[in-house]
Chain A
Amino acid sequence: MNLDMSLFGYEFMQRALVGALAVGLCAPAVGVFLVQKRLALIGDGLGHIALTGVAIGLLTSTSPMWTTLATTVVASVAMELLRSHSRTSGDVALAMMFYGGIAGGVYLTGIASDKGVANLQQYLFGSLLTAGWDEVLTIAIGGAAVALLMLALRPWMSAVATDEQYARVAGLPVGGLNLLLLMTTAVVVSVSMRAVGLLLVSALLVIPVVTAQQFTRSFRATMHGGMAVGFLIAVAGVLASAVQDVPPGATIVLIGVACFLITATAAAIAHRVRRTWRSHPPPEGEPLEVELPSADPADGTPTPPKG
């Protein structure tokens, strides 16, 4: 790919880059908690629901971004209530969202068929290059708000995502934080549908995080690394798609998947090499964990694992 810097002279390219930058930065900031909660597919579920929101927008001739935002926020609240107050598992709630959302979208678009089904395409697969300044501004403001909120609340959100029962006993507002996580996910989905499209939005929530965590040991580094990776693949995707004239969403996601495969392979190799060479803690095997508080691991009688 030969990068032609004159691309940046075009205003549509500047807009696309600003939009991609915002989405790439903010999506992993939310996604890291979803990955931690093993809700990696929830973005996809909300993406399906968002389809209904887009259809409502087309039907009522209002801006689809706002109807999508409203629909996904309502859906995320409903889903959290369903999850926490009934016996329905998160899995079943997610399945209902997938099917109900996509059916609602197709049904409503069918009603609004005279208003351009082709229009739906750009929300399904993303069309950042055709976004206007006002749309890009919405993306940037929404993204920045979400990212800042998540950065400030990281210890609390990660405590709830890691061990909800402990968080409850620690007196944290678990219900509120869970709801906040789903609502910010809804905001990210609505905001980034312009960039990567509804069907691919889940990818930007998840891929940067799982790519970064190949090399990180801490939650903090994973979050910051994920945001950096998301930023890079989003910008790279926009540039590549402009050069080759293909949809940016698919390009961003493919670059992300490639990054993940490369880093996962590299991490596996690095891991193996380190295992052979390592001499620092944590040590191989099970040292005798006796000497407290001096914590001297020198006395290395191995303790047999308990059956």
Chain B
Amino acid sequence: MPVIATRGATVSYSGRAVVRDVDLAVEPGEAVAVMGANGSGKSTLVKAIVGLVPLAAGAIELFGAPQRRFRAWQRIGYVPQRTGAASGVPATAAEVVAQGRLSRRLIGLPPRRSDRAAVDRSLAEVGLADHAHCSVETLSGGQQQRVLIARALATDPDVLIMDEPTVGVDAATQAALAAVVADRVDAGCAVLLVTHELGPLTDRLDRAIVLADGRVVHDGAPPLPVGEHAAPDHEHAHPHPPPVLGLGEAAPRLTFGDTDDADDHRSCE
């Protein structure tokens, strides 16, 4: 039974189809990337899978249950795209990570010991144990992203769904996150990763799905980095010339389009 299955999934925004007729299956323990240029519909597809965007046509099943009737949300660890906006009221890293336990807690009751332990463990896993009581606003962009990933890990999910977790994150943090995620994959957790670039996180992939204009144009072996782009079985087209390796970017980037979602790299105050 696949963890995530979509059949003919179609999503439209005001009449315009953004995701067209996508069939996708993620088996238990499988690590799959959804790749594509900005505007190719990859984020929308994932938002549809977690139920944030309604389907125009098709069907989505989570753990074998139709998505509308799916209630076991604690089996899903979701890492949303990080928005740059600071929140109105300060919150510590531990408080944000504790949100990951809410789906396992009874509403209105205080956290159990296992909840606190999961929060501490997840923060330690992403290397932020020392920052548990720091306000998230004072953390750097990479650290904030790690907090969001720790929140998903704290849920003890059976599948991690991550939407562009590497945007605005330096290569070194990406490598660290890749190790954390690889550990979970080894422990049997499935991963669905939305990304527009290859990096340390995509090394551990079993499979990649490439979207172009809302359609699946590739479903199989992960595409190779730009440097080895000449591989004969490499299918997807590049609208842009291969990017020049930038300073501080250890891993070559596979660019499908313009990266308009450049992130503010906030420093600690």
Contact = CB atoms under 8 A, between A and B. Distances in A.
Interface of A: 32, 35-38, 40, 152-153, 155-156, 158-159, 162-163, 165-173, 209, 213, 216-220, 222, 271, 275, 281-286, 288-295, 303-307
A275 B269 contact: yes
B134 A158 contact: no
7 contacts: A155-B111, A158-B89, A165-B80, A219-B95, A290-B175, A295-B130, A303-B172
A282 B92 contact: no
Given A166-B99, A289-B176, A304-B247, A222 B263 contact: no
B265 interface: yes
Contact of B176 (A167, A285, A292): A292
Given A218-B90, A275-B269, A286-B142, 19 more contacts: A32-B89, A35-B88, A36-B88, A156-B107, A159-B102, A168-B51, A169-B73, A171-B74, A218-B91, A219-B89, A284-B268, A289-B173, A290-B176, A292-B126, A292-B176, A293-B124, A294-B127, A303-B172, A303-B248
Interface string B101-128: 0110101100100000000000011111
Interface residues of B, number: 64
B225 interface: no
Contacts of B204: none
A282 B139 contact: yes
A220 B95 contact: yes
Nearest to B171: A303
Interface in B138-171: 138-140, 142-143, 146, 151, 155, 168, 170-171
Nearest to B125: A293
A228 B245 CA distance: 54
Nearest to A274: B269
B73 A306 contact: no
Contacts of A209: 89
B69 interface: no
Contact of A295 (B92, B127, B262): B127
A304 B140 CA distance: 12
Given A153-B107, A159-B102, A295-B128, A171 B71 contact: yes
**Majority secondary structure, A binding face:** loop
A231 B256 CA distance: 56
Contacts of B80: 163, 165-166, 169
Contacts, number: 161
B89 A282 contact: no
A285 B99 contact: no
B103 A171 contact: yes
Contacts of B127: 289, 291-295
B100 A286 contact: no
Given A169-B73, A282-B138, A304-B247, A217 B130 contact: no
B236 interface: no
A306 B95 contact: no
A74 to B, nearest CB: 25
B36 to A, nearest CB: 20
A36 B87 contact: yes
Contacts of B248: 303-304, 306
Contacts of A303: 170-172, 248
A172 B103 contact: yes
Query: Would you list the 9 A-B pairs with minimal beta carbon distance, nearest first?
Result: A171-B73, A305-B265, A282-B268, A295-B127, A217-B135, A303-B170, A292-B176, A169-B78, A290-B172
Nearest to A38: B88
Contacts of B173: 289-290
Contacts of A218: 90-92, 95, 133, 135
Contacts of B131: 281-282
B59 interface: no
B103 to A, nearest CB: 4
Nearest to B52: A165
B99 A306 contact: no
Given A171-B103, A290-B172, A153 B73 contact: no
Interface string B196-216: 000000000000000000000
A303 B98 CA distance: 29
Contacts of B24: none
A217 B132 CA distance: 11
A36 B268 CA distance: 21
A285 B141 CA distance: 11
B50 A169 contact: yes
A292 B90 contact: no
Contacts of A153: 107-108
Which of A32, A209, A222 is most buried by chain B, counting CB atoms within 10 A of its CB?
Answer: A222
Contacts of A213: 89-90
B267 A292 contact: no
Contacts of A165: 52, 80
A219 B93 CA distance: 10
A172 B89 contact: no
